[in-house]
Amino acid sequence: MLLYNVKKEEMRIGKHKGKTMYYASPIAQDKITTKQLEDRIVNATALSRADVRSAITALAKIVREEMLSGRTVDLANLGSFKVVSNGKRVETEKAVTAETLKTPRIQFFPKLEMRNQAKNVQHVVIRESEAGSAKPSPNPGDLPEAPDSAL
């Protein structure tokens, strides 16, 4: 579930200049820690915590090494990590050099199943008038069920 606050802003340019406009702003949410991830994997498999921790550490190291080599790393049903860097536009072919490349960045390309799962995330907008309860708890029956193969 993604939570949002309603915020307002006075528009400085455009057709709504001088008008107060409202928008949904995401609220920072908790993240799962490495220990919690390890716990979930230990409980879902026959692996020990040490095995899980070693596998996660080794995976991170291998992904870094492969991306440094320019390779795309495919992580099965999750998706792929890839280093991308586009070139700046220059006027002549001779002007194209390594220095005209933009700073490389890492992109994650989720598999179709992961992208489809994101469509099932519930959105909740919290207005100041409803701010009495910090985080609304949705009715479990209202949430879509995640298939066992969701992750």
Tens-binned pLDDT, residue by residue, of the chain (151 aa):
888 999 989 999 999 999 999 899 988 888 999 999 999 999 999 999 999 999 999 999 999 999 999 999 999 999 999 999 999 998 999 999 999 999 999 999 999 999 999 898 888 898 877 655 555 544 444 444 444 444 4
Question: Does a structural domain hold residue 140?
Answer: no
pLDDT score recorded for residue 29:
85
pLDDT score recorded for residue 42:
95
Question: Does a structural domain hold residue 54?
Answer: yes
Question: Does a structural domain hold residue 118?
Answer: no
Question: Does a structural domain hold residue 15?
Answer: no
- The residue range of the domain holding 62 is 32-71
Please tell me the total count of domains within the chain: 1
Question: Does a structural domain hold residue 65?
Answer: yes
41 burial (CB, 10 Å; 0-12 / 13-18 / 19+) is middle
Question: Does a structural domain hold residue 45?
Answer: yes
Q: What is the pTM of this model?
A: 0.62
* Residue 69 near residue 100 (C-beta atoms within 8 A): no
Question: Does a structural domain hold residue 3?
Answer: no
pLDDT score recorded for residue 123:
87
d(CA 66, CA 74): 11
Question: Does a structural domain hold residue 67?
Answer: yes
